[in-house]
Amino acid sequence: MNNLDIKNQATINIEVILLLEAIFQKYGYDFRDYSKAHIKRRILHRMSTSRFSTISEMQHKVLNDEAFFEQILKDFSINVTEMFRDPSFYLKFREDIIPILKTYPFIKIWHAGCSTGEEVYSMAIILKEEGIYDRCQIYATDFNQVVIQKAKEGIYPINKVKEFTYNYQKAGGINSFSDYYTAKYESAILNTDLKKNIVFADHNLVTDKVFAEVHLLVCRNVLIYFNKQLQDKVIRLFNESIIPGGYLCLGSKESLRFSDSFHHFDTIDDDEKIYKRKLHFKR
SS3 letters across 241-262: HEEEEEEEEECCCCCCCCCCCH
Per-residue confidence (pLDDT) for residue 208, from 0 to 100? 86
Residue 19 lies in a domain: yes
Provide the 3-class DSSP secondary structure of residue 169: helix
Please, which residues bridge with residue 136 across strands?
107
**Is the domain of 145 the same as that of 233?**
yes
Residues in the chain: 283
Could you read off the pLDDT of 234-268 as tens digits, one per residue? 999 999 999 999 999 999 889 898 888 999 999 99
Residue 81 lies in a domain: no
Contact 63, 57 (CB under 8 A): no
**Is the domain of 24 the same as that of 104?**
no
**Is the domain of 270 the same as that of 168?**
yes
Per-residue confidence (pLDDT) for residue 275, from 0 to 100? 97
Could you read off the pLDDT of 132-141 as tens digits, one per residue? 999 999 999 9
Contact 177, 164 (CB under 8 A): yes
DSSP assigned state of 131: T
Could you read off the pLDDT of 77-128 as tens digits, one per residue? 777 789 999 999 999 999 999 999 999 999 999 999 999 999 999 999 999 9
Task: Mark which of 49, 76, 103 sits at the end of a domain.
Answer: 76
Residue 82 lies in a domain: no
pLDDT band at 73 (very low <50, low <70, confident <90, very high): confident
Per-residue confidence (pLDDT) for residue 1, from 0 to 100? 53
Could you read off the pLDDT of 7-62 as tens digits, one per residue? 578 888 899 999 999 998 988 888 888 888 888 988 998 998 899 989 999 999 99
**Is the domain of 66 the same as that of 110?**
no
pLDDT for residue 155 is more than 90: yes
**Is the domain of 45 the same as that of 97?**
no
Per-residue confidence (pLDDT) for residue 7, from 0 to 100? 57
**Is the domain of 168 the same as that of 271?**
yes
Per-residue confidence (pLDDT) for residue 283, from 0 to 100? 42
CATH number at residue 121: 3.40.50.150
Per-residue confidence (pLDDT) for residue 119, from 0 to 100? 96
pLDDT for residue 4 is more than 90: no
Residue 67 lies in a domain: yes
| CA R_g for the chain | 20
**Is the domain of 136 the same as that of 180?**
yes
Could you read off the pLDDT of 188-217 as tens digits, one per residue? 999 999 999 999 999 988 888 888 899 999
pLDDT for residue 281 is more than 60: no
Task: Mark which of 41, 76, 111 sits at the end of a domain.
Answer: 76
**Using CA atoms, how far apart are residues 47 and 40, in angstroms rounded to an integer?**
10
**Is the domain of 37 the same as that of 125?**
no
Residue 282 lies in a domain: no
**Is the domain of 15 the same as that of 114?**
no
Domain boundaries, position 103: 87-277
Per-residue confidence (pLDDT) for residue 200, from 0 to 100? 96
pLDDT for residue 176 is more than 80: yes
Task: Mark which of 11, 45, 76 sits at the end of a domain.
Answer: 76
Overall number of domains in the chain: 2
Contact 223, 250 (CB under 8 A): yes
Residue 257 lies in a domain: yes
